[in-house]
């Protein structure tokens, strides 16, 4: 017997006038999962989150919480809480009153509310600020209170709408770890919305990559990165080189493509239904230079070199095609490749992927 899913999105569409924000979205979020909706702005991820919270109604389709439809229940009857992008703390209440707000509406006893508020403030390391007002807090502190307030009523699902985007870089990293810790400790299903792929890859159990109002791919972070199912996902997650080509042979999940580089590559494919135009996607760090050039090799000329600290990025031109190649610091310093050098580049076919147009 499969586990009951926490959230089920069943054929949900959303129209705003002529604009289709979501187009027949279908997926399930498991219990205790750290699930991320990842996509560029305007992809519909925030609309979807707002529909789960109850601030928007689907034009079509159904949303289920623990197997029961919640499409008809208003936001205040859903056992789902939200951490808002700009925190949305109540400015006229103290932090303790902010955290107590949900519990009071649920009709908790006074004593229970007090101990739960203390416990939550303790959990986010803000106990000493209980009597302060939100305007006396820094961004990171507001974030913690927003979390404590949303987690206090023990929701079945916690929604997080780009909660880290307003924080500075250092703070963002520590809040990532904090969020993971809170998710493990509470065992609550987290649905996290972000446009930051690094955040998504770092924190999530599973990611739904969204684009143009549709779910493009759902999978664990390594699946999304290593085995993108289409061009959109390969392009949006990380960096990649697309080589135009022509599929000459197709056998289930495997295909052979004749690329613009002038070489034939046989590897896994997705989205190709018949021989014809397709692309070969190969990540910059999976292309080897000189001694590391293995598998399919070609000669090329280095046309640019960008030193990025931990990495060095090269652009190599080979057979009329520009390829981005990335080397780790130690390797790049040993290689001493300069602009204008002729180099051998190569990649293992297994590390490349053929994608339909």
Partner 1 sequence: MRKQRDIRSYPGLRTLSLVFFAWLYLPIGVVIFYSFNSNRLVSVWEGFSTKWYVSALQNDALMSSVRVSLIVALFSMIFATTIALLAALVITRAPGLKMRRVSETVVNLPLLLPEIVLAVAVLILFSQVGLNSGMFRLVLAHVAFCTPFAFMPIRARLQGMSLDVEEAARDLYAPPLTVFRRVTLPMIMPGVFAGAMTAFVISMDDFITSNMLNSGGGTTLPIYIFSLIRQGTTPELNAISTLLILVSLILATIVLILNARAMRRDG
Using CB under 8 A, which of 26, 69, 75, 342 touches partner 1?
Answer: 75
Using CB under 8 A, which of 7, 80, 210, 316 touches partner 1?
Answer: 80
Binding status of residue 89 toward partner 1 by CB under 8 A: yes
Count of other CB atoms within 10 angstroms of residue 264: 15
Strand pairing partners for 20?
A: 15
Q: At its nearest, how many Å lie between partner 1 and the CB of residue 159?
A: 9
Binding status of residue 54 toward partner 1 by CB under 8 A: yes
What is d(CA 35, CA 218) in angstroms, rounded to the nearest whole number?
10
Return the axis-axis angle of helices 139-151 and 110-123, rounded to nearest 10°. Answer: 140
Q: At its nearest, how many Å lie between partner 1 and the CB of residue 284?
A: 40
Alpha helices in the chain (DSSP H): 45-53, 95-105, 110-123, 139-151, 169-186, 197-203, 221-226, 231-236, 329-335
Binding status of residue 132 toward partner 1 by CB under 8 A: no
What is d(CA 43, CA 26) in angstroms, rounded to the nearest whole number?
15
Binding status of residue 313 toward partner 1 by CB under 8 A: no
Using CB under 8 A, which of 39, 44, 58, 102 touches partner 1?
Answer: 102
- Helix/strand/coil for 63: strand
Binding status of residue 68 toward partner 1 by CB under 8 A: no
Q: At its nearest, how many Å lie between partner 1 and the CB of residue 10?
A: 22
| Rg from Cα positions in the chain | 24
Residue 214 has phi, psi (to 5 degrees) of -130, 160
Strand pairing partners for 83?
A: 160
Using CB under 8 A, which of 86, 174, 306, 357 touches partner 1?
Answer: 86
| Residue among 274, 296, 238 nearest 356 (CA) | 274
Binding status of residue 47 toward partner 1 by CB under 8 A: no
Nearest residue (CB) to partner 1, 103 versus 323: 103
Nearest residue (CB) to partner 1, 82 versus 267: 82
Region of 5-13, 24-32, 76-84, 227-235 interacting with partner 1 (CB under 8 A): 76-84
The residues of the shown chain that bind partner 1, judged by CB under 8 A, are 53-55, 74-77, 80-82, 84, 86, 88-92, 101-102, 105-106, 133, 135, 149-150, 153
């Amino acid at each position: 017997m499969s586990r009951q899913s926490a959230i089920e999105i069943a054929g949900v569409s959303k129209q705003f006038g002529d604009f289709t924000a979501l187009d027949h979205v279908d997926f399930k979020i498991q219990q205790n999962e750290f699930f991320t909706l990842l996509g560029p702005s305007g992809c519909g991820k925030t609309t979807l989150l707002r529909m789960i919270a109850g601030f928007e109604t689907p034009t079509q389709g159904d949303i289920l919480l623990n197997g029961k439809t919640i499409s008809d229940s208003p936001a205040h009857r859903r056992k789902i809480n939200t951490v808002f992008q700009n925190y949305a703390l109540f400015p006229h209440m103290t932090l303790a009153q902010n955290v107590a707000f949900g519990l009071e509406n649920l009709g908790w006893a006074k004593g229970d509310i007090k101990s739960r508020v203390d416990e939550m403030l303790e959990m986010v390391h803000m106990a000493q600020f209980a009597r302060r007002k939100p305007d006396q807090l820094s961004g990171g502190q507001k974030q913690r209170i927003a979390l404590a307030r949303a987690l206090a009523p023990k929701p079945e699902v916690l929604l997080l709408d780009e909660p880290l985007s307003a924080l500075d870089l250092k703070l963002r990293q520590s809040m990532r770890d904090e969020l993971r810790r809170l998710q493990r400790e509470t065992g609550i299903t987290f649905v996290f919305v972000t446009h930051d792929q690094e955040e998504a890859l770092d924190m999530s159990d599973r990611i739904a990559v969204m684009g143009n109002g549709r779910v493009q791919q759902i999978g664990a972070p390594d699946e999304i990165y290593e085995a993108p199912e289409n061009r959109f996902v390969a392009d949006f997650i990380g960096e990649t080189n697309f080589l135009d080509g022509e599929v000459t042979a197709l056998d289930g999940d495997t295909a052979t493509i004749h690329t613009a580089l002038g070489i034939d590559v046989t590897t896994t494919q997705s989205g190709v239904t018949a021989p014809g135009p397709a692309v070969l996607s190969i990540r910059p760090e999976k292309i080897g230079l000189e001694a590391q050039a293995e598998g399919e090799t070609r000669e090329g000329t280095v046309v640019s070199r960008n030193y990025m600290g931990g990495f060095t990025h090269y652009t190599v031109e080979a057979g009329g095609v520009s390829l981005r190649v990335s080397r780790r610091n130690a390797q790049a310093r040993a290689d001493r490749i300069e602009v204008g050098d002729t180099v051998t580049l190569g990649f293992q076919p297994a590390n490349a992927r053929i994608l339909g147009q």
